[in-house]
Structure 1
């Protein structure tokens, strides 16, 4: 499992993440995917979501839940690029509880568009170069 993803980030769960059933609510998994992807793009790839010419819009997301996780567990979130297109990227995510149990697997598809035009633009430069390093065969 750990070798299937090329970037890992450890995220603590929060008290408010648990729902009435006593486990982390499904919306938290999506928020974690979105956060880890965007944090990676900003920190590692130099993506500028506030001032750059392009923005990344989520056009598809999916999550399959494998096991429960509850506060105060930590979640290790693995990230890889399943497909890098001209203007889109399919991020693939694995979430593992601190005891090694697979919690969830999902994907997010971003299409890069011009900030003003909202039309697809090519992923170029440092952002593309960094994404290429996360592409799995």
Structure 2
């Protein structure tokens, strides 16, 4: 369980570092500093891109696009239930954006962890296809 929490937390940090409703995110920083610090902006953009490639590639390989959509649908249904029972109010756009970041980070965290879960459930390891 600790491994999943670490993978999920890193996915959340990746998404929140890219964009969040505060002024402390890459998008706002890059927009404000593009002219003065273009090389640093490009470097940070490339580092974020590497993080996204790692997470998205692993997620697409382990659960695929259908699995990603299914996890997002479950998160949306959970939000619907919480709103319906009065535990969650969606009137605050800032809170909605944070909820979206949590939902997307859960998709990436589950995608990166799915091979480990499948191995524990089935006892079988996954192997990447290797072209000879």
Same fold (TM over 0.5): no
TM normalised by structure 2 equals 0.27
TM normalised by structure 1 equals 0.26
Tell me which protein shows more strand as a share of its residues.
1
Tell me which protein shows more helix as a share of its residues.
2
Give the structure with higher Rg (CA).
2
> Which has the bigger relative contact order, CA under 8 A and spacing at least 6?
2
